[in-house]
């Protein structure tokens, strides 16, 4: 199956600053991809390029379309939730639902109303009466009720409390995602999306530093809690990161067999958050 998003030499510069530095990647259909990186790493710029919101250099196709010249056709099959939901302050909930129902042929009113029913939003409520979290909830309800092939989420639950964040991701899996849809998510709350991701992409300084399926990540990266008497033997295997927990060394290895590492101590798969921190060390210096 051809890639839903395919990039070759994708580059974006703002004056002398390079935001995306010649990256290559492919995202196939039916995947949930976490595009993870620190602030200023290029993740939002990558999404904006894919959505046709900014010019860029290199090759980029999204569902076979060039975002620079075929954005109108592209957006028939794409939904986007930005990190800041902006809705007119005078808009009522019911008017927002009516508006989207009138302009998008694949909007499912019943689905939107079902999402809204699980919040504190009321049909007559105006945006100016809502908290920041409630505005985000309305935005999510409108966008997720559109039957799009590609859903791009840039910090989608910003402003929501933990209960609604968990509910959102549960709805994403149960009511939205299927093998014909693809979801790309950026978030700083990595631990909250780890369980739904099928693929990871780490981006740093405009370059992709890791692109792998979660299965590949589980096989490739292993953490070991190493007792003091085995630290030298563990260091000989060249861990990519090391930290101390309760007086023991916890070492992260890339590509070393689990059988070999088991002889050094207790092994486990690192969390995405721990892997991210290890990969990004030095970025914030």
- The reported pLDDT for the residue numbered 169 is 86
- The reported pLDDT for the residue numbered 144 is 84
- Three-class SS of residue 49? helix
Nearest alpha-carbon partner for 154 in 139, 170, 138, 174: 139
Residues of the chain under the 70 pLDDT cut: 1, 83-85, 282-285
- The reported pLDDT for the residue numbered 282 is 52
- The reported pLDDT for the residue numbered 214 is 94
- The reported pLDDT for the residue numbered 284 is 37
- The reported pLDDT for the residue numbered 81 is 82
What residues have CB less than 8 Å from 206, skipping those under 6 apart? 18, 19, 20, 21, 23, 41, 42
């Amino acid at each position: 199956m051809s890639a839903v998003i395919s990039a070759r030499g994708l580059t974006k510069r703002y004056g002398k600053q390079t935001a995306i530095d010649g990256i290559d990647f492919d995202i196939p259909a039916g995947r949930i991809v976490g595009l993870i990186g620190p602030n200023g790493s290029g993740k939002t710029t990558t999404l904006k390029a894919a959505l046709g919101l900014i010019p860029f250099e290199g090759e980029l196709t999204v569902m076979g379309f060039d975002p620079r010249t075929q954005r109108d056709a592209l957006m028939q099959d794409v939904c986007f939730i930005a990190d800041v939901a902006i809705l007119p302050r005078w808009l009522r909930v019911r008017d927002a639902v009516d508006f989207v129902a009138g302009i998008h042929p694949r909007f499912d009113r019943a689905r939107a109303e079902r999402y809204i029913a699980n919040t504190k939003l009321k049909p007559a409520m105006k945006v100016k009466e809502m908290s920041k979290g409630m505005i985000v909830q309305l935005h999510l309800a409108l966008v997720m009720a559109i039957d799009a092939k590609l859903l791009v989420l840039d910090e989608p639950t910003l402003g929501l409390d933990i209960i609604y964040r968990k509910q959102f991701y549960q709805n994403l899996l149960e009511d939205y995602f299927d093998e014909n849809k693809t979801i790309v998510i950026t978030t700083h709350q990595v631990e909250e999306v780890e369980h739904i991701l099928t693929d990871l992409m780490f981006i740093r300084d405009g370059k992709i530093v890791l692109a792998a399926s979660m299965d590949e990540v589980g096989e490739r990266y292993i953490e070991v809690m190493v007792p003091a008497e085995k630290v030298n033997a563990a260091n000989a295997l060249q861990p990519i990161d090391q930290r101390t927990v309760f007086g023991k060394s916890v070492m992260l290895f890339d590509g070393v067999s689990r059988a070999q590492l088991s002889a050094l101590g207790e092994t486990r798969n690192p969390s995405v958050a721990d892997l991210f921190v290890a990969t990004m060390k030095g970025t914030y210096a």
